[in-house]
Amino acid sequence: MLAGLRTATAGPILYRCYNFSYRLCYNLCYSPFSTSCFTTTTSSPRSLLVVSTNRCFSTIPPRKPTMADSIDLLSKALAQKLTLTAESSSDDFVRELGSKFPALSKEETAEQFQWLTLSARFPESLPELNETLKHRTYLLNTLEPSLADAVVYSRVSPIVSKWSEDEIKASRHIVRWVDLIQNSLKVADDLKIKVDLDLSAPREIKPKVEKKKTDAPAVDAADKKADKKADKKKADKKDAAVAATATAAGEAPKKTEKKKKEKKPQPAKVEVPVTPAMIDLRVGHIQKAIKHPDADALYVSTIDMGDEEGPRTVCSGLVKYFPLEAMQDRYVVVVANLKPVTMRGIKSSAMVLCASNEDTVEFVNPPAGSKPGDKIFFETFDGTPEAVLNPKKKIWEQIQPGFSTTQDLSVIYRKEGESDKRLVNKAGELCKVNSLVAANVR
C-alpha cells in the first residue's frame, strides 16, 4: 500500500524537485544549441535556483560517465540539492552535471523530448507510460537512470502517492518503476512513496484470439463442390441427349448459351473542388525554440495553436534567416493540418507560414491582439478545413502557388480569372509581412 506524502514540507519539496528537474533537463538536453544565464530568486527563505534554458555548455570537455557518476549526480539533483540557494548553486556545479550525465543516442534524445511533453499532460498520458514501462527497466530503455526518469518521476510521484489499491494494480508497472527510481537515486526516506510489496494483484492475461471453426465450413464446402459436380454431369448428359436428337433429325445441335450476369451501374464519384478552405491556417504562439540537436539548419519550436492536447512540436528550416532570439515568444501563422513528418528523429506536426524572395525570408504576421488558435482564412473561403491533408491528393501543392503579397504587404490568394482574396481573421483584419512585395508565401 502507498503511504501519503502530503506532509507539511512534502508539497514545497516535490514542487522544487519538479521545477528543478524540468528546467535542468532542458539545459542538459539542448545546451549545445542555446545561449543562457542563471538567476536566483530570493522571495522566500528557501529560494530555488531558477535555471534558464539559455546557457551554452559547448565548452564542457567531453568525458565518458560511469554508472556511479550518474546515480550520484541525479541523487544530488533530486534529493540533496532541492533547496539550492545563491550560495550553493555555482556555475561549476551545473557544469559538472552537464559533463557527467550519460550521453543519449539520437533516438533516445528524441524520445526524451517526447516524454517531457507527455509527462506535462499527466494523468491523461499515464496509460501510455504504464504500457511503455511494461517491458522496460528505465524509461528510455537505457542501462541506467536518465534525466527523463528523474523528470517524469518528479511529475508522477505526487499522483501515485494518492492512488487506491485498484489504481495501483491497474498501473503496476508505473509503481514498480517509481520504487526503482526512488531507490536508485537515493531519494530521502521522508519523500519516498511506500510500496506494499505484499500487495497481490491478478496476473495480466492477454486476451486470446478465438480461432474460427473450420471443420463445419470445410464439410459444407465439400458438399457444395460435390453438388456442383453432380449438376454439371446432369447438364452434360442433357446437352448430349439434345445433340443426339438433333443429329437424328438432321438438325445442327444448338449450343446452350450461358446467361451473362449484368453488372449494376455504380454511381459516379463526385470530386470535391480543391479550395483554400481545406487548409487549416491558425494563429500560433512560439513559446520556446531551440536548435535541432542533429540538424544545423533546423529550429525545434514549441508552438501553442489552441489545441486541447497542448502545444505542438514544429521543426522549421529558418536557422539561416532568423537568429534564435527572434524565434522566442512571438506570434506567427501556422499550417496546422499537414501530415506530421519526422525530421532527423523529431516529429514535426505543423509548418510556420513565411514569405520569401531569393535571399530574404519574413514571417507572416497575424493581426495585433491575436490569440493562439484563432482561425485565419482567405476571404470567401471560411470553410471547415480537412482534418489532415492527404499527401496523395496534393491539396497543398495545388493551392500554395497562388499565395503571394501585394504592394500594401497584405498576403493574398490569387487565381486566374478571379479577384484576389486577402488573408484575414474573423474580424476581417489583415495578415501582413514586413517588407516583401510579390513574394512567394509558404
Query: In the predicted model, what is the mean pLDDT of residues 398-420?
Result: 95
- In this prediction, residue 186 carries a pLDDT of 77
- In this prediction, residue 406 carries a pLDDT of 96
- Span 127-154, pLDDT tens digits: 889 889 988 998 888 888 887 888 888 8
Of the three residues 144, 169, 191, the one that is the final residue of a domain is: 191
285 and 420 assigned to the same domain = yes
287 and 436 assigned to the same domain = yes
Question: Distance (Å, rounded) from C-alpha 414 to C-alpha 429?
Answer: 18
Of the three residues 140, 171, 191, the one that is the final residue of a domain is: 191
pTM of the predicted model over 0.95: no
In a domain, 212, yes or no: no
- In this prediction, residue 267 carries a pLDDT of 74
- CATH number of the domain to which 78 belongs: 1.20.1050.10
Domain that holds residue 300: 276-441
**Cell digits of residue 402:** 497562388
**Cell digits of residue 374:** 484563432
In a domain, 223, yes or no: no
301 and 429 assigned to the same domain = yes
Of the three residues 160, 191, 222, the one that is the final residue of a domain is: 191
In a domain, 253, yes or no: no
186 and 300 assigned to the same domain = no
- In this prediction, residue 28 carries a pLDDT of 45
Instruction: Give the distance between the most distant pair of CA atoms in the chain.
Output: 122
- In this prediction, residue 377 carries a pLDDT of 97
**Cell digits of residue 425:** 481573421
Question: Distance (Å, rounded) from C-alpha 5 to C-alpha 1?
Answer: 13
- In this prediction, residue 255 carries a pLDDT of 54
176 and 55 assigned to the same domain = yes
- Span 58-67, pLDDT tens digits: 344 444 444 4
- In this prediction, residue 77 carries a pLDDT of 52
Measured in degrees and rounded to the nearest 5, phi and psi for residue 17 equal -60, -45
Number of domains in the chain: 2
Any residues with CB less than 8 A from the CB of 32 and at least 6 apart, and which? 56, 57, 58, 293
The DSSP string of 45-75 is TTPPEEE-S----TTSPP----HHHHHHHHH
In a domain, 111, yes or no: yes
- Span 317-370, pLDDT tens digits: 999 999 999 999 999 999 999 999 999 899 999 999 999 998 899 999 999 999
In a domain, 240, yes or no: no
Strand intervals (E) in 89-167: none
In a domain, 158, yes or no: yes
Strand intervals (E) in 126-170: none
- CATH number of the domain to which 334 belongs: 2.40.50.140
280 and 416 assigned to the same domain = yes
175 and 288 assigned to the same domain = no
428 and 306 assigned to the same domain = yes
Q: Where is pLDDT greater, at 264 or 34?
A: 264
Question: Distance (Å, rounded) from C-alpha 371 to C-alpha 314?
Answer: 18
141 and 282 assigned to the same domain = no
Contact between 139 and 177 under an 8 Å Cβ cutoff? The reply is yes
Q: Which residues of 249-265 are buried (b: 16+ CB within 10 A; e: fewer)?
A: eeeeeeeeeeeeeeeee
182 and 314 assigned to the same domain = no
Contact between 92 and 99 under an 8 Å Cβ cutoff? The reply is no
In a domain, 267, yes or no: no
139 and 287 assigned to the same domain = no
- In this prediction, residue 239 carries a pLDDT of 63
Burial class (CB in 10 A: 0-12, 13-18, 19+), 54: middle
187 and 280 assigned to the same domain = no
In a domain, 28, yes or no: yes
